[in-house]
Amino acid sequence: MPSDRVTVVIPTYNESENLPDISKAVTAHSYRLLVVDDSSPDGTGELADRLAAEDPLISVLHRSRKEGLGPAYAAGFDRALADETEVVIEMDADFSHDPADLPRLVQAIDDGADLAIGSRYVPGGSTPDWPLTRRLISKGGNLYARMMLGIPIQDATAGFRAFRAGPLQTLPYREAQASGYAFQVEMAMRAHETGLRVVEVPISFRDRTRGTSKMGTGIVVEAMRLVTVWGWNRLVRGVRPWRR
């Protein structure tokens, strides 16, 4: 895969502390970087513009307000696909996803995957910074998603993933019901139900050291509610989970 046919999409909201270093780490692979900023009050958007002016591999998509991870990624996918990229990668700005793992996700696409997920919960994956309680909660949430949705994916909540452009265009990501991190579960579910080839690539997930986490109670509640609704649709109503 030519490196200039890969676009890494990073949504940002108040990530000015991390953006210069993560940008440098991504473009070191000669991949394109698309920063999707939701009008960060800390100046992340303006900083992204300055970085883009210095590096032709970097571009910026400014959004007028904070609407959540799902809408930010949907807008980023639209821009990346319009630029005729061949691989679209989702990635966090805070180095919880190691930029050194980017070529491994791209290789998985080269090897035939439609969706390659950087997984914490397949052999070789890990969460070295997490206490046991957090690990159990996360694994429990993924087990619940697998049982309710009938998907074989071990880490459906993972936010480090690569899509082949063509199959991504077949997924109705613009109509996603989830706005928070449940967007990741929804896209994994839709990919499986559509028959895309999904592979999980083991990664180590580390906690951020700079900036503030965007994970809140409302995001967790949304995820549990939607997975329950989708599972009810599948198990009781006998319809595809994303149909209301």
Contacts by residues 122-130 (CB-CB < 8 Å, ≥ 24 positions apart): 122/154, 122/155, 122/200, 122/201, 122/202, 123/202, 124/202, 125/155, 125/200, 125/202, 125/203, 125/204, 125/205, 126/202, 126/204, 126/205, 127/204, 127/205, 127/206, 128/204, 128/206, 129/206, 129/207, 130/207
Contacts of 122 by beta carbon, 8 Å cutoff, 6+ apart: 154, 155, 200, 201, 202
What is the Cα–Cα distance from 229 to 162, expressed in whole angstroms?
27
Locate the domains of the chain by residue range.
3-237
* H-helix or E-strand spanning residue 162: strand 161-164
**Per-residue confidence (pLDDT) for residue 213, from 0 to 100:** 62
pLDDT of the chain, 244 residues: tens digit per residue: 789 999 999 999 999 999 999 999 999 999 999 999 999 999 999 999 999 999 999 999 999 988 889 999 999 999 999 999 999 999 999 999 999 999 999 999 999 999 999 999 999 999 998 999 989 989 999 999 999 999 999 999 999 999 999 999 999 999 998 888 899 999 999 999 999 999 999 999 998 777 666 555 677 788 888 999 999 888 776 666 554 3
The CATH-assigned architecture of domain 3-237 is: Alpha-Beta Complex (3.90)
